[in-house]
Chains A and B, each alone.
Chain A
Amino acid sequence: MDPIRILRSRTVVMATTNIDTDQIIPARFLTTTTKEGLGAQLFADWRYDATGAPKPDFILNTPAAQGCQVLVAGRNVGCGSSREHAPWALVDFGFRAVISTEIADIFRNNSLKNGLLPVIVDAATHEWLLANPGAEVTIDLESRELGLPDGRKVVFPVEAFARFCLLNGTDEMGYLLGQGEAIAAYEALHGKQPTAATA
């Protein structure tokens, strides 16, 4: 995973509320057994017509969206299914951050593990972003600040350990594996060791 420190990008706006992970990537694409290449199926049912041709008026098919790393979404983005294919598809398409007033729990967790920064902002900032698609914004993970074009800085919350991992491009697995002694001690203390038959 590449470290994230500062993102500078124009925004893509999808103002729809409650964008669920079934929209981000429909279930029929989940028979894949890898993480790669899912950007092609991102928002497939909104993005392509029945023949598979891109719909010219869908935002991700417009020239303005090309190269944008920041998605501004309506309230409660990422609700529904736990499929990690949703952040995989967004990242494969090129997104590195999603901004909304509310971001669903499992999607937020999954995003943080894949270099996709969930940025929760207040309603006024959100409204400004929705009204100004294509705005050039800066997201500084070190200072936890979203910078708007007029110079305003909006502080956003991000879980401390996830931030550490994103800043350093490391994953949580190494940390968890490093807890091996504590895990064994817990198992012993609570009588949860593997039984002989299964060890």
Chain B
Amino acid sequence: MAKTMFEKVWETHEVVPESADTPAVLFIDLHLTHEVTSPQSFTLLREKGLPVRRRDLTFATMDHSTPTTTDQVFGGVPIKLASARGQVEQFARNCADFDVELLGLQDQKRGIVHIIGPEMGLTQPGKTIVCGDSHTSTHGAFGALAFGIGSTEVGHVFATQCLLQRKAKTMAVNVEGALAPGVSAKDVVLAIINHIGVSGGTGHVLEYRGSTIRAMSMEERMTVCNMSIEAGARAGMIEPDETTFAYLQGRERAPQGAAWDAALAAWRALATDAGARFDREVHIDATQIRPMVTYGTHPGMSIAIGDTVPVHAGDSVYAASLAYMGLQPGQAITDVLVNVVFVGSCTNGRLSDLEEVASVLRGRKVAHGVHMLIVPGSQQVKREAEARGLHEVFAAAGAEWRESGCSMCLGMNGDTVAKGQYCVSTSNRNFEGRQGVGSRTLLASPLTAAASAVTGRVTDPRSLLA
């Protein structure tokens, strides 16, 4: 019978199939872990006297509460935020006690968990990958089944390398057509979320398909899969192809030599079979997508930058959302004056994102009064960006360039947006208070973020592209 890619990956990881009474026992090939969602899981292991069953399949980094200023990371200055310091130190102790491989604060390979997995070649097609982090969906860009779990489940995977899971439904997201210049993967995924809604993917694994997706680089595909959870889907997958294999070949933890050839054969068989049935299908015309920006307090509240804030008379929840954002129905989003621009996160913190930002900033200045923070997704991204001289472009424009981490995406480390301020952000969530108490987030692509930094207001980047 014709099978979807999800079904193929699922079936090869069933330790025990599901029944009416019990969920499947699903084997996990790669367990990524970080300092925020693991402390209680390590405590559980200690209470029960259990080891980490598969240390070789467990990989740790610190990213959420880590500082991004060089003095705190490399300069010997203690982490200023005491609670964050305690969490980082406890995580290092936990990893040492349980003999889990950790990229510590000063490690040259450290970075955001969803950036370094692919970068090191740990993320591979056909794997099951979990992390106590909802943006684990990112790794689905390689044809892995990757999803976020809670801390109790982190404990389950530590102890047994398995999870109890019910099989999800499948949804094909067919995206067809060439993107217009200045339109990027971030705009595509914001358009998808707008189309299916912030709970439209609940209970489903998405498979992004179609010519638009096939034409994307791995970094672009990761941006798309990253935000699957913002449509309610725990996982989003993309069929692995030559682009995928070319990205992975030669990476540190990717298979080498004969193992590479064997892996490649297996990976080529993962694609959804012709005639396989999805539980649901949606179609997106990519040729119609323009640069997008969010105006509200969830990622589904987005418009093309040339459009006005929608009017929904009589909807009190909608009115409250706009009131939080300080916006009026019917107003042009380009009227919004920007206070902060944040470039980074697991959504858009990779080298190609930084190159796009530099392409706009080169020879230009960040507008007076705008604070622009650029945070690479990993130390490796930082080095590559600096090798290309991007940091000099950023400095010349007046933007701040930091060490890697989640930073202002969620402000856990103290990198926050002040109350009432507008931040055009390349991150993934515009929830109330996400970037700091009272912060107002407008999600956009790296190009849009850079263009808005230059003009000081929400700006369609096509107006600045030569």
- CB proximity of B164 to chain A, nearest CB, Å: 5
A171 CA to B90 CA, complexed, in Å: 26
**Chain A residue at smallest Cβ distance from B81:** A31
Stretch at the interface among B113-121, B151-159, B285-293, B363-371: B151-159
A159 near B23: Cβ-Cβ < 8 Å: yes
Asked whether A122 is an interface residue with its Cβ less than 8 Å from the other chain, the reply is: no
Residue interface mask B136-159, A partner, CB < 8 A = 1 = 000000000000111111011001
Of residues 99 to 122 in A, which have CB atoms within 8 Å of B's CB atoms?
Answer: 102, 104-106, 109-110, 113-114
* Interface residues contributed by chain A, number (CB under 8 Å): 57
Residue interface mask B265-309, A partner, CB < 8 A = 1 = 000000000000000000000000000000000100000000000
Chain B residues within an 8 Å CB radius of A187: 27
Question: Of A23, A79, A192, which contacts B27 at CB under 8 A?
Answer: A192
* Interface residues contributed by chain B, number (CB under 8 Å): 68
A175 CA to B29 CA, complexed, in Å: 20
B202 near A105: Cβ-Cβ < 8 Å: yes
A75 near B43: Cβ-Cβ < 8 Å: no
**Chain A residue at smallest Cβ distance from B168:** A105
Q: What is the interface of chain B mostly: helix, strand, loop, or mixed?
A: loop
Chain A residues within an 8 Å CB radius of B355: none
Stretch at the interface among B34-42, B173-181, B245-253, B394-402: B34-42
- CB proximity of A187 to chain B, nearest CB, Å: 8
Residue of B90, B230, B412 with most partner-chain A CB within 10 A? B412
B410 near A31: Cβ-Cβ < 8 Å: no
B150 near A109: Cβ-Cβ < 8 Å: yes
CB-CB under 8 A for A15 and B198, given A31-B65, A159-B23? no
Question: Of A32, A106, A110, A161, which contacts B21 at CB under 8 A?
Answer: A161
A176 near B412: Cβ-Cβ < 8 Å: no
- CB proximity of A170 to chain B, nearest CB, Å: 13
Asked whether A195 is an interface residue with its Cβ less than 8 Å from the other chain, the reply is: yes
A172 near B132: Cβ-Cβ < 8 Å: no
B298 near A79: Cβ-Cβ < 8 Å: yes
Asked whether B54 is an interface residue with its Cβ less than 8 Å from the other chain, the reply is: yes
A176 near B151: Cβ-Cβ < 8 Å: no
Question: Of B133, B159, B202, which contacts A173 at CB under 8 A?
Answer: B159
Question: Of A28, A82, A171, which contacts B133 at CB under 8 A?
Answer: A82
Of residues 121 to 177 in A, which have CB atoms within 8 Å of B's CB atoms?
Answer: 159-161, 164, 171-173, 175-177
- CB proximity of B236 to chain A, nearest CB, Å: 13
B25 near A82: Cβ-Cβ < 8 Å: no
Chain B residues within an 8 Å CB radius of A175: 22, 164
B12 near A104: Cβ-Cβ < 8 Å: no
Asked whether A30 is an interface residue with its Cβ less than 8 Å from the other chain, the reply is: yes
B83 near A31: Cβ-Cβ < 8 Å: yes
Chain A residues within an 8 Å CB radius of B234: 105-106
**Chain A residue at smallest Cβ distance from B16:** A182
Of residues 54 to 91 in B, which have CB atoms within 8 Å of A's CB atoms?
Answer: 54-56, 64-65, 81, 83-84, 86-87, 90
Asked whether B161 is an interface residue with its Cβ less than 8 Å from the other chain, the reply is: yes
A109 near B153: Cβ-Cβ < 8 Å: yes
Chain A residues within an 8 Å CB radius of B419: 50
B40 near A33: Cβ-Cβ < 8 Å: yes
CB-CB under 8 A for A113 and B199, given A26-B433, A28-B411, A82-B134? no
Of residues 222 to 266 in B, which have CB atoms within 8 Å of A's CB atoms?
Answer: 229-230, 232, 234
Chain B residues within an 8 Å CB radius of A102: 199, 202
Chain A residues within an 8 Å CB radius of B182: none
Asked whether A39 is an interface residue with its Cβ less than 8 Å from the other chain, the reply is: no
A22 near B431: Cβ-Cβ < 8 Å: yes
Chain A residues within an 8 Å CB radius of B162: 176, 179, 183
Chain B residues within an 8 Å CB radius of A58: none
Asked whether A17 is an interface residue with its Cβ less than 8 Å from the other chain, the reply is: yes
CB-CB under 8 A for A173 and B431, given A31-B83, A105-B234? no
- CB proximity of B320 to chain A, nearest CB, Å: 7
A172 CA to B22 CA, complexed, in Å: 11
Residue interface mask A182-199, B partner, CB < 8 A = 1 = 110011001010110011
Asked whether A92 is an interface residue with its Cβ less than 8 Å from the other chain, the reply is: no
Question: Of A80, A114, A164, A172, which contacts B431 at CB under 8 A?
Answer: A80
B16 near A179: Cβ-Cβ < 8 Å: yes
- CB proximity of B99 to chain A, nearest CB, Å: 9
Of residues 11 to 43 in A, which have CB atoms within 8 Å of B's CB atoms?
Answer: 15-18, 20, 22-23, 26-28, 30-35
Question: Of B23, B44, B133, which contacts A161 at CB under 8 A?
Answer: B23
A79 CA to B270 CA, complexed, in Å: 30
A34 near B15: Cβ-Cβ < 8 Å: no
Chain B residues within an 8 Å CB radius of A176: 25, 156, 159-160, 162, 164
A182 near B15: Cβ-Cβ < 8 Å: yes
Chain B residues within an 8 Å CB radius of A161: 21-23, 164
**Chain B residue at smallest Cβ distance from A34:** B40
Chain B residues within an 8 Å CB radius of A33: 39-40, 43, 86-87, 90
Q: A22-B410, A31-B65, A179-B15 are in contact. List 7 more A-B contacts (CB 8 A).
A: A15-B317, A79-B232, A82-B132, A82-B133, A83-B36, A160-B20, A176-B156
User: B-contacting residues of A (Cβ < 8 Å)?
Assistant: 15-18, 20, 22-23, 26-28, 30-35, 45, 50, 74-76, 79-84, 102, 104-106, 109-110, 113-114, 159-161, 164, 171-173, 175-177, 179-180, 182-183, 186-187, 190, 192, 194-195, 198-199
The 9 closest A-B pairs by CB, nearest first: A198-B56, A33-B39, A31-B83, A110-B150, A84-B150, A82-B148, A76-B199, A82-B134, A27-B410
Q: Could you jot down 21 A-B contacts, CB within 8 Å? A: A18-B298, A20-B429, A22-B433, A23-B433, A28-B411, A30-B36, A31-B81, A32-B87, A33-B39, A33-B87, A34-B40, A45-B437, A79-B199, A79-B232, A81-B134, A83-B37, A159-B23, A159-B166, A171-B152, A173-B160, A183-B161
